[in-house]
């Protein structure tokens, strides 16, 4: 049992190492992190409901996970074929496209949930 616990803790360490690499070496992940750092305080400010928080958090996790998978595909593809390969290029493009689609969806959810509340909160100031 103790060995099992040690192995699980080690797996968490590898996961954290991967997350740190994602944010340290991938500029698009840093952009997503910045968006997260703007959305969370805004959600607190406009007092999102529990369901709205669930939607926002699911979007944050989805985009972050897709960015991580895209980065993993890029690392693996670059290792397998350092020179240009058309099919590997297509795989990398599709992975990047998946992140883009998730980002558009997340931004749409954010706008639907946050914009009306931000306008209502600050609308009287203008």
pLDDT in tens, 17-40: 999 999 999 999 999 999 999 999
- Residue 126 inside a domain? The answer is no
State how many domains the chain has: 1
- Residue 20 inside a domain? The answer is no
Q: What is the pLDDT of residues 49-96, one digit of tens each?
A: 999 999 999 999 999 999 999 999 999 999 999 899 999 999 999 999
- Residue 53 inside a domain? The answer is yes
Using the predicted structure, report yes or no on whether residue 124 has a pLDDT greater than 70: no
C-alpha span between 93 and 120 (Å, rounded): 40
- Residue 110 inside a domain? The answer is yes
- Residue 4 inside a domain? The answer is no
- Residue 85 inside a domain? The answer is yes
Full domain range(s) for residue 54: 39-116
> Which pLDDT score is estimated for 37?
98
- For residue 85, how many other CB atoms are within 10 A of its CB? 13
- Residue 65 inside a domain? The answer is yes
Question: What CATH number should be reported for the domain holding residue 50?
Answer: 1.10.287.3610
Q: Write the DSSP string, 41-59.
A: HHHHHTT--HHHHHHHHHH
Report residue 72 as tokens. 């993993």
- Residue 48 inside a domain? The answer is yes
């Amino acid at each position: 049992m103790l060995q099992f616990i040690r192995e699980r803790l080690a797996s968490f360490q590898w996961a954290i190492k991967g997350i740190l690499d994602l944010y340290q070496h991938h500029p698009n992940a840093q952009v997503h992190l910045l968006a997260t750092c703007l959305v969370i305080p805004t959600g607190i400010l406009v007092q999102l409901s529990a369901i709205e928080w669930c939607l926002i958090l699911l979007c944050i996790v989805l985009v972050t996970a897709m960015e991580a998978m895209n980065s993993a595909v890029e690392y693996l593809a670059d290792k397998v074929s350092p020179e240009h390969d058309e099919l590997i290029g297509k795989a990398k493009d599709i992975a990047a496209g998946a992140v883009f689609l998730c980002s558009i969806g997340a931004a749409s959810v954010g706008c639907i949930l946050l914009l009306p509340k931000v306008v209502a909160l600050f609308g009287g100031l203008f």
